[in-house]
Structure formats: C-alpha cells, structure tokens
Structure 1
Amino acid sequence: MIVWLNGTHGAGKTTTSALLQQLIPHARVFDAEKVGETLMDIRPGLPATDNFQHWPPWRPLVVETARRVLDYTGGTLVMPMTVLVEQYWREISAGLAQYAVPVRHFVLHADQDTLRGRIEGDTVMGPSAFRLAYLEPYAEAARTWLHDEADEVIDTTHRTPAQIARHIARSLGH
C-alpha cells in the first residue's frame, strides 16, 4: 500500500512521514522528489521548467519506482509529495491503480497564515521564495479538486506532526 501525504510546503508532510513510518510495521518513506532530482541531474539538461513535475517522465517514473519497491519489499510506502496539478495526480493514481497498488491519499492542510509562518520560520531549510510561491496554487487546488480527491483532509494548523502521524496510523488500522 502507499500512504500519500499531499499538501503544500509547510503543511508537515516530511516530518509527519518520518513519524508515521515508525508507527506502521514494514513501512518505508519514499520521497518522490528524489526522482525529480535525478531528472535534474541529466546533462545536458532537460527543457527548462520551474518544477520537475512538469517533465512528462517524472510521473511514470514515480509510479514505476514506487510499485517496483513495493514488489521488492512489500509493506507500506509513505510518500510525502506535493502534487497540485490535477492531471498529474490523475496520471499517478491511474498508474498505480493499473498495478493494483492501493493508495490512501491524505492531504495535510493549514491556513495560509500558518503555512506562511512555518515557511518563513523554517530553521532547517530557511525561508524560501520557491516554497512561498506554492501557497496560492495550493489554495486553488484545494478549492477546486485536491480536497475532493483525498481520502481525508487533515487540518495541521493546531496539531503536531506526532498527533497527525498517530491519527493517520489509527485510520489505517495501526
């Protein structure tokens, strides 16, 4: 099974995924951003874009990597990855469905002020214009399709990552 943690920067995906992995037997964390980083390392570079998710190979490579890891290891893959383009989410979820890989899709949500404060106050990554630029696209996706596509939307505004991880683990039967 895949537990997909979606939501924008500052929602708590990365921290929650590490905590969730500890609560689910035989779970591993797979950050699909690493697939994008691999594509960014190709020389000469792929066509210029502001986001590796726009490269057509990224989505099927995420599907193939996830399903092959699951075929190899079994268990659960916890995937903290923001996907805000509906077509991209549909490609990924359809690709995983083609291989009969069950996906539980959780959207971690917080209000815009909370997200902005978390991004600007991030002591690990530091403030990031790139991350801030995704606040409005997230809000638009949340309004138009993303929350409807989630198995559950979890408000992280007043909850710790540990509380969120325990909630998700319980909802998965752990």
Structure 2
Amino acid sequence: MIVWLNGTHGAGKTTTSRLVQQLIPDSRVLDAEKVGETLMDIKPGLPDTDNFQHWDPWRPLVVETARRVLDYTGGTLVMPMTVLVEAYWREISAGLAHHAIPVRHFVLHADHDTLRGRIAGDGIMGPSEFRLQYLEPYAEAARTWLHREAEVIDTTHLTPAQAAAQIAQAVAR
C-alpha cells in the first residue's frame, strides 16, 4: 500500500511522513522528490523547467520506483509529494492501479495565512520564494479537484504528530 501525503509546500508533508512511518508497522518513507533530483542531475538533455514534474519521465519513474521498492520490501510506503496538476496525479494513480497497488491519498491542508507563516518561519529551509509561488496553484487545485480526490487533513491547528495520528488511524480502519 502507498500512503500518499499531498499538499502544498509548508503543509508539513515531510515532517508528518516521518511520524506516520513510525505509527504504521512495516512502513518506510519514499520521497518522490528524490526521483526528480535524479532527473535534475541529467545535464544537458532535459528541457528547462521550473518543476521537474513537468518532465515526462518523472511520473512513470515515480510509479516504477514505488512498485519496485514495494516488490522488494513489502509493507507500506509513505510518500510525501506535492502534486497539483490533475493530469499528473491521474497518470501516477493510474500507473499504481495498473500494478494493483492500493493508494490512500491524503492532502495536508492549512489556510493561506498559516501556510505563508510556516514558509516564512521555516528554520531549516528559511523563507522560500519557490515555495510561496505554489500557494495559489495549491488553492486552485484544492478548489477544482484535489480535495475531491483525497482525504483532507486540516493541519491549520494541528501539530505534525496530531496529523500523523489522524492519518495512521484512517489507514488502520
């Protein structure tokens, strides 16, 4: 099984994924961003883009990486990754379904002001224009498709541990 943690930057996906992994037996974290980082190392050859998700190989490589890891390890993969383009989510989820891999898709949501404050106050990454530029695309995805496609966990007033507990409980049901 895959527990996919979606949501925009600053929602707490990375922190929450580590906590979810501790709560779900036989689980491990697979960050799909690492697949994108591998592609970013291929120079020259890939077209310029502001987001590696736009490279056609990224989505099938995420599916294949998850499939191979699950075949090798079994258990549950917790995958923190923002996917705001509906067609990209459809491609990934269809690819996983093709391999009969069940997915529990969660969106970590917080209101705009909370997200902006988290991004500005991030002690590890610091304030990030890159992360801020995704607030409006996230809001648009949430309005148009994303919240219909996932189980929404409103983290506005939750700690990462509380959000992780809600996700682990939902998975256990």
Unpaired runs of 5+ residues, structure 1, are: none
For residue 43 of structure 1, report the CA deviation from its aligned partner: 2.2
Separation in 2, partners of 1:32, 1:173? 23
TM-score normalised over the length of structure 2? 0.99
**Aligned match of 2:167:** 168
For residue 45 of structure 1, report the CA deviation from its aligned partner: 4.0
What stretches of structure 1 move > 2 A for 4+ residues in a row? none
Separation in 2, partners of 1:169, 1:161? 12
**Aligned match of 1:49:** 49
**Aligned match of 1:159:** 158
1:97-119 deviation line (CA, Å, top 9, x unaligned): 00000000000000000000000
For residue 172 of structure 1, report the CA deviation from its aligned partner: 1.1
For residue 173 of structure 1, report the CA deviation from its aligned partner: 1.2
Q: Counterpart of 2:152 in structure 1: which amino acid?
A: V
Q: Counterpart of 1:136 in structure 2: which amino acid?
A: E
TM-score normalised over the length of structure 1? 0.98
Identical columns (%): 84
Separation in 2, partners of 1:38, 1:140? 29
User: Which secondary structure state, in structure 2, belongs to the residue aligned with residue 82 of structure 1?
Assistant: coil
Unpaired runs of 5+ residues, structure 2, are: none
Separation in 1, partners of 2:24, 2:172? 9
Separation in 1, partners of 2:44, 2:56? 17
1:118-170 deviation line (CA, Å, top 9, x unaligned): 000001000000000000000000000000011x1010000000001111111
Separation in 2, partners of 1:23, 1:137? 31
RMSD of aligned residue pairs (Cα, Å): 0.8
Separation in 1, partners of 2:122, 2:145? 28
**Aligned match of 1:26:** 26
**Aligned match of 1:10:** 10
- Greater Cα shift, 89-98 or 161-170: 161-170
In the comparison of the two structures, how many residue pairs are matched?
A: 173
Separation in 2, partners of 1:99, 1:115? 35
User: Which secondary structure state, in structure 2, belongs to the residue aligned with residue 31 of structure 1?
Assistant: coil
